[in-house]
Amino acid sequence: EAQVTQNPRYLITVTGKKLTVTCSQNMNHEYMSWYRQDPGLGLRQIYYSMNVEVTDKGDVPEGYKVSRKEKRNFPLILESPSPNQTSLYFCASSLSFRTDSYEQYFGPGTRLTVT
């Protein structure tokens, strides 16, 4: 089954404790992206990747890191989480960065709480 998976689905952590949220897709997609969803703000893009070893900042990259060492994986790293990073995070993938007509497939989301 074609899908985007994220782990963990739920995470409660404390300020400053490094964490990684994993994202994996099995569709051989070139393009992958991370979004955060906050009430009243909709979805905002954090980082995206056009292909292996190619990443770029989205609208709200501060406090986050990403890497794309393999085509299928795109982990989101919070080196020193803070309470304002409490949010619902979605990973998404699409066949190609170079066209806007392909569907983006979304993972189920990771709900992160930073205390």
Query: For 82-106, b where at least 16 C-beta lie within 10 A, e where not — what string?
Result: eeebbbebbbbbbbebeeeeeeebb
Virtual torsion, Cα 82, 85, 89, 93, nearest 10 deg: -90
Instruction: For the segment 5-34, give every residue that binds another protein (CB under 8 A).
Output: 31, 33
Stretch that binds another protein, among 10-18, 60-68, 79-87, 91-99 (CB under 8 A): 91-99
Binding flag, residue 43, another protein (CB under 8 A) = yes
Per CB under 8 A, does 47 bind another protein?
Answer: no
| Residue placing its CB nearer to another protein in the complex, 21 or 92 | 92
Q: Which residues bind another protein (CB under 8 A)?
A: 4, 31, 33, 35, 40-45, 48, 58, 90, 92, 94, 96-104, 106-109
